[in-house]
Amino acid sequence: NKVVVADTSSQANNSKCFQIGGGIIFSSLNYLKNAQEHTFHQGLSIRASYQVNNFLRFLVDYSKVDRVNIKPTWLNVKNTFFDIDAHFLLNPPVERTFFYFILGASLQKWQGFYTGIEDHSYAFRNVKHNSDYKTIYYGGTFGFGFEYEFIKRIFAYGEVRCRMTKTDVGFGLTDVC
């Protein structure tokens, strides 16, 4: 979920406009690595988009999740995402509001200290215990969102986006934010 931001366009449903913004995210990270009771962690997102017409917008998004410990297997995990997405816009009859579907590509940078303790995934059996580990995963993004124009050039938005990625553990849903 992402919330509130500023923009440089003149209208919410205007074609050919450029927007910049940011927000707060809640990410479930990559828990294929180790099951956890509490899976969502806060982070920040910055973005820029270009709306081609009333039905299509392209977006670049950089998100960074706060450091987290996935005890006892992972410590001091840093997780960042870089997404390039297309938003397919739906313009309902409600003034200053629209909805969109998200489809795109994602890069996830995972970095943390691997203890090896209680790792039930077996994907890291060749990784030395008590060592720093970092990797980059590539995948796809899909989801949906909405945008509401409070006043001219000031918007709030909310999204649910899912990332499918091939990781050390296998291919699957690796993040919901």
Would you say 144 and 159 are in contact if contact means Cβ atoms under 8 Å apart?
yes
Q: What is the rounded average pLDDT for all residues in the chain?
A: 84
pLDDT over threshold 80, residue 3: no
Average pLDDT over residues 84-98: 87
Would you say 87 and 145 are in contact if contact means Cβ atoms under 8 Å apart?
yes
List, for residues 116-172, the tens digit of each pLDDT value. 888 777 667 778 899 999 999 999 999 999 999 888 888 899 999 999 988 777 787
β-pair partners for 125:
none
pLDDT over threshold 70, residue 30: no
pTM, two decimals, is: 0.82
Handedness of CA 64, 66, 72, 74 (dihedral sign): positive
Dist CA 35 CA 134 (whole Å):
19
Which pLDDT band, with edges at 50, 70 and 90, does 4 fall under? Answer: very low
